[in-house]
Amino acid sequence: MQRRSLLAATGAASLLAATPFVRAQGSLKPFKFNLGWKVEASGAGFLLAHQRGYYKDAGLDVAIDTGNGSSAAISLVGSGAYDVASADLSSMIEFNVANPQAALKAVAIQYDLNPNAIIVRKDSGITQPGQLAGKTILGQPFNASRKLFPVFAKAQGFDPSGVKWENVTPDIGDTRFVKGDFDASAYF
């Protein structure tokens, strides 16, 4: 038997053997999951699986909680308060650089393309990234797009320190952006 076949057979046998044992015991393994943000479309699959009992069928008693952004979710997993979280990969990389002894691993990618964006109103006249210099951008300190902005600005050839950032709570940020209180807004 080839090594690869042996490893596959051993892994499959372990999974098959463990599943009836968990069910035979009648107890479910507690498992804490953090959505990373509020209930929204990106968490629908996790919530639907919970509602339909898929986690229990797999032997897990899953508790799903809303979060306060990717950075907070990653920190909660790193501290052991949660088993897993849905979070932006750049937040995990930032955490791993600061905490190499407690480095986390990504096990899945949820988006085909990175959803980080800086958006502008059509009437702003901003058509190129460099035109953001000297402007005010809405973006909370924990926002992944804001955290990545210095790298983006340098890649586009302008100094990121020339941008003023305005902190507004997420619940009123969209309204103020639409009203024209800001030149641009950082989104994930």
pLDDT of 85 > 80? The answer is yes
pLDDT of 18 > 80? The answer is no
Residue 42 inside a domain? The answer is: yes
pLDDT tens figures, 26-47: 799 999 999 998 998 989 999 9
Q: Residues 92, 122: one domain?
A: no
DSSP labels, the chain? --HHHHHHHHHHHHHHHHHHHHHHHT-PEEEEEE-SSSS-GGGHHHHHHHHTTHHHHTTEEEEEE--S-HHHHHHHHHHTS-SEE---HHHHHHHHHH-GGG---------SS---EEEE-GGG---SGGGGTT-EEE--TT-HHHHHHHHHHHHHTS-GGGSEEE---HHHHHHHHHHTSSSEEEE-
On the question of pLDDT at 6 being above 70, the answer is no
Indicate the pTM of the whole model.
0.68
Residue 48 lies in a domain: yes
pLDDT in tens, 121-138: 999 999 999 999 999 999
User: Percent of the chain scored above 90 by pLDDT?
Assistant: 59
Number of separate domains in the chain: 2
Residue range of the domain that includes 32 = 3-102
Q: What is the CATH number of the domain that holds 153?
A: 3.40.190.10
